[in-house]
Amino acid sequence: MMDDVWEELMKLRQQGFYCSQMILLQGLEMTGKTNPDLIRAMHGLAGGLGSSGELCGALTGGASLLGLYAGKGEPGQPEDPRLDFMVQDLVNWFKTEYGEPFGGIRCAEILAGDSRNQTVRCPLMVIGVLQKVKDLLVENGYDLSGME
């Protein structure tokens, strides 16, 4: 299973997609949907917010995927208070899981000027964030195959 996800991520990377985009592509795939406009918008988060080296795209992509399921999408739709708690849980987990061993949660800190880190650390973080997001959604009563 892990090998299948790794293989799919490598394929997406070869197609020119970044961490934030890969997470949303995988998330949309769970629902059987596509949304090129959303994936295009996620490109702004790539490389740590527009390749500025800031906040990791895997983390911001994970928060965005949580928002895709739990965020407000229409004027009459109420906010789901679980969203902020899920995002906070994701951030805390990410800081412990990756921030501590990799020197921070900014893209520049994680990569530490070594391009080899991008080929190893980034896919591992994308896989980890995807699993954590799935776990948070299930724990909070969301059906992964279709958004509520």
Residue 26 confidence (pLDDT): 92
Rounded to whole angstroms, the Cα distance separating 61 from 115 reads 21
Residues 6+ apart with CB under 8 A from 69: 27, 137, 142, 147, 148
Residue 62 confidence (pLDDT): 98
Helix intervals (H) in 47-114: 57-70, 82-94, 100-102, 107-111
Whether the model clears a pTM of 0.85, i.e. scores above it, the answer is: yes
Residues in the chain where the model's pLDDT stays below 70: 1-2, 147-148
- Beta-strand runs (E) in 94-144: none
Residue 77 confidence (pLDDT): 92
Residue 80 Cα to chain centre, angstroms: 19
> Residue 77: how many CB atoms within 10 A of its CB?
9
Residue 1 confidence (pLDDT): 54
**Up-side HSE of residue 32: CA atoms within 13 Å toward CB?**
4
